[in-house]
Amino acid sequence: MTTLEKVKTEWFSNVKGDVLAGIVVALALIPEAIAFSIIAGVDPMVGLYASFCISIVIAFIGGRPGMISGATGAMALLMVTLVAEHGLEYLLAATILTGVLQILFGVFRLSVFMKLVPRSVMIGFVNALAILIFTSQLQHFVGETWVMYSLVALTLAIIYILPRFTRAIPSTLVAIVVVTALAIFMNFGVRTVGDMGTLPSTLPIFLIPDIPLNLDTLAIIFPYSLALAVVGILESLLTQNIVDDMTDTESDKNKESRGQGIANVTTGFFGGMAGCAMIGQSVINVKSGATGRLSSLTAGIVLLGMIITLQGVVVQIPMAALAGIMIMVSIGTFDWSSLMNIHRIPRSDAAVMITVVSVVVYTHDLSIGVFAGIIMSALFFAWKISKVKVEEHFDMKTNAMTYEVHGQLFFASVEDYLDQINFDADVQKVTIDLSNAHLWDDSAVGAIDKTEHKFEQRHIEVAITGMNKESTKLMDKIGGLSKASGH
Amino acid sequence: MYKNILLAIDGSDHSYRATEKAIALAELTPDAAIEILYVVPGNKSKSDVLHYGDSDSASRKRTKMLQEYEKMIKEKSIPVETTVLHGKDGIAEAIIAHANEGGYDTLVLGSRGLSAVQTMVLGSVSHKVMKYVKAPVMMVK
């Protein structure tokens, strides 16, 4: 496909579907962008600018047409302490640095390292995210009246029941409009978005964050940026795979990492918070008929148009409606099938998943949870693979013993292997059959040497057989003393 | 009578019974063939990708799941084909479109047998399919 053809299919092969889906997404983005800003502790405009900038930039340079990116809960949750301790300007600087790290991630094609993140960690990640989004809403219920509770209930009822009758308009938008109208006309006096901060009435403008450019600043923002970059890439690549699967097409993972990075750099300079791909919005987008890049561009433009023209109304949205929507987002984010299947998956996987969730809920930091999960999975893996089975076959006639070794020989498993060899047996000849084993490192080579040495000390003839090519190579390289290495 | 049989299954327990019924129907007519149709629901993409790693592994897992049913049909020496569709917005819609385009003599459908609440939230696929598919539909409970 030539570049021109590619541009044509990615942009204009589905104009009507993309534009309509883009409008639907823009409508659904508004309440989320506001709510995520409130989670992060910044003015709603920071999240709205972010969603606007990111969706426009990603439309042009993202790797996955049809995917929607913007301000997200996962990212917002990582920023809370930075904003609380140092303020908005540091968040913007951290956002730019996050983008730079993600660009590097893409340029050096590091998306292959995503393989190192086990599935049980990813499941723990989305479940922890869902729980955090839910608990972040509890503060809005403190000291509230039954009026607020019923508005939340009404919001949820509309969100879940309306789609049974029509799916033409997003039910979240209907819920927002109905609940806001009710609150205005009935004069309930409940807390609104306007009480949480100001909204933009202008286009975002280019600004360099007002911070001292020195090492102290870097020391403050770098840990946040690193966590944001990792979580952003993780959620973006997960979303990308989901959109790939829904549309039955493939897409460039490194291009997406780079695109996310450029989008975050841009967002930081235009006063928005760091964001990433949004699972929920991307699913809504594809379900609404989008396949191309035009959907993300439309979403961005419509979003900005609406926040500027409807600013006066947006400030009157009750917090109850937003809390309802966030509860819906958290229910949708949670992977319910993992709860239903938890008795069926291996115990170690379940333990990793639960650990990730617990660590994240305790630390409020998704990146720490993911890191803990990866380490724990690696340990479990090493533990499982370090089990070596040794079968004994004794030949009475020749007084010879054959040990058939099954498994992986490496630093963690050599003990287990040596324990199963009986060096004091009264035999004439011993054969170690390695046909079903693999030598991985120095310790493995050492164990084989030791085996030979010990038997020879006891004047028992030893033979090593069936060593595979790679293991033999390793033996040669490390220069084992064994006869099997050819020395 | 029923030469081109479309068998829509979702991998649940009811899929076995539906496959058995489709085989029984196919055996009535010489040269009858069965096409297995599996529609990946839009919402399932998320959990499948999470549980199987990526889109490729998810597809492989689905093909493997469908092979069991293919085997059941092949054992009776009935020609079988498999189609996997991605129902972005509703499983029923994808089944209906595919069934009506293909000119099938009949559609055999496994019903999941959801409770009233589940039907309320998830929607009844069989109900919609029964209503809009032009060919005769056999729903296997």
| pLDDT at A346 exceeding the cut of 60 | yes
CB A317 within 8 A of CB A180: yes
Q: With CA atoms as reference, report the closest residue to A465 among A437, A442, A431, A430.
A: A431
Give the strand pairing for A389-395 and A400-409: antiparallel
CB B76 within 8 A of CB B60: no
Work out the pLDDT band at B115, boundaries 50, 70, 90.
Answer: low
pLDDT at A140: 87
**According to the per-residue pLDDT averaged within each range, which of A162-166, A258-262, B12-16, B85-89 is highest?**
A258-262
Work out the pLDDT band at A396, boundaries 50, 70, 90.
Answer: confident
| Distance from C-alpha of A482 to C-alpha of A445, rounded to nearest angstrom | 8
CATH number of B4-140: 3.40.50.620
Q: How buried is A477 (Cβ within 10 angstroms: 0-12 exposed, 13-18 middle, 19+ buried)?
A: exposed
Cβ separation A245–B120 shorter than 8 A: no
| pLDDT at A283 exceeding the cut of 50 | yes
| Distance from C-alpha of B8 to C-alpha of B126, rounded to nearest angstrom | 10
CB A64 within 8 A of CB A243: yes
Lowest mean pLDDT among A32-36, A187-191, A263-267, A326-330: A187-191
A112 CB within 8 Å of a chain B CB: no
Question: Nearest CA to CA, how far is B77 from chain A (Å)?
Answer: 31
Residues in chain B within 8 Å Cβ distance of A246: 40, 42, 45, 86, 88
Q: How do the domains of chain B map onto residue ranges?
A: 4-140
- Give me the sign of the Cα torsion angle A318, A323, A326, A327: negative
3-state secondary structure of A71: coil
A247-271: average pLDDT = 93
Per-residue pLDDT tens digits for B31-51: 899 999 998 887 788 888 888
Q: With CA atoms as reference, report the closest residue to A135 among A368, A351, A362.
A: A362
Cβ separation A241–B42 shorter than 8 A: no
Q: How buried is B5 (Cβ within 10 angstroms: 0-12 exposed, 13-18 middle, 19+ buried)?
A: buried
A3 CB within 8 Å of a chain B CB: no
Give the burial string for A365-382 (b: 16+ CB within 10 Å, else e).
bbbbbbbbbbebbeebee
Distance, first Cα to last Cα, chain A:
56
How confident is the prediction for chain A on average, in pLDDT?
88
CB A267 within 8 A of CB A44: no
CB A251 within 8 A of CB A64: yes
3-state secondary structure of A144: coil
Backbone phi, psi, residue A277, to 5°? -70, 150
Work out the pLDDT band at A151, boundaries 50, 70, 90.
Answer: very high
A128-151: average pLDDT = 89
A245 CB within 8 Å of a chain B CB: yes
Q: Which amino acid is at A93?
A: A
Q: Which amino acid is at A51?
A: S
The 10 Å Cβ neighbour count of residue A87 is: 14
| Distance from C-alpha of B96 to C-alpha of B92, rounded to nearest angstrom | 6
- Chain A residue with CA closest to B117: the answer is A161
| pLDDT at A97 exceeding the cut of 90 | yes
pLDDT at B10: 83
Whole-number CA gyration radius for chain B: 15
Shortest CB distance from B42 goes to which of A160, A246, A250? A246
Per-residue pLDDT tens digits for A420-479: 888 887 888 899 999 999 988 888 888 988 888 888 888 888 888 888 888 888 888 776
| pLDDT at A482 exceeding the cut of 80 | no
- Both tokens of residue A102? 């993600």
| pLDDT at A258 exceeding the cut of 90 | yes
Residues in chain A within 8 Å Cβ distance of B86: 245-248
Q: Which amino acid is at A323?
A: A
Percent pLDDT > 70 in chain A is: 97
| Distance from C-alpha of B68 to C-alpha of B9, rounded to nearest angstrom | 12
Cβ separation A283–B42 shorter than 8 A: yes
Those residues whose C-beta lies under 8 Å from the C-beta of residue A335, and which sit 6 or more positions away, are A123, A126, A127, B46, B47, B50
| pLDDT at A485 exceeding the cut of 50 | no
- B67 or A27: which leads in pLDDT: B67
| pLDDT at A133 exceeding the cut of 80 | yes
| Distance from C-alpha of A118 to C-alpha of A138, rounded to nearest angstrom | 31
CB B68 within 8 A of CB B11: no
pLDDT at A201: 67
| pLDDT at B15 exceeding the cut of 70 | yes
| Distance from C-alpha of A99 to C-alpha of B26, rounded to nearest angstrom | 59
Per-residue pLDDT tens digits for A178-229: 999 998 888 877 888 888 777 766 777 778 888 888 889 999 999 999 999 9
Q: With CA atoms as reference, report the closest residue to A388 among A409, A364, A357, A359.
A: A409
Query: DSSP labels for B26-56?
Result: HTTSTT-EEEEEEEEEHHHHHHHHHHHSSHH
| Distance from C-alpha of A426 to C-alpha of A15, rounded to nearest angstrom | 82
Q: Which amino acid is at A80?
A: V
Domains observed in chain A: 3-379 (no CATH), 389-485 (3.30.750.24)
pLDDT at B123: 55
Give the strand pairing for A400-409 and B137-140: unpaired
| pLDDT at A56 exceeding the cut of 90 | yes
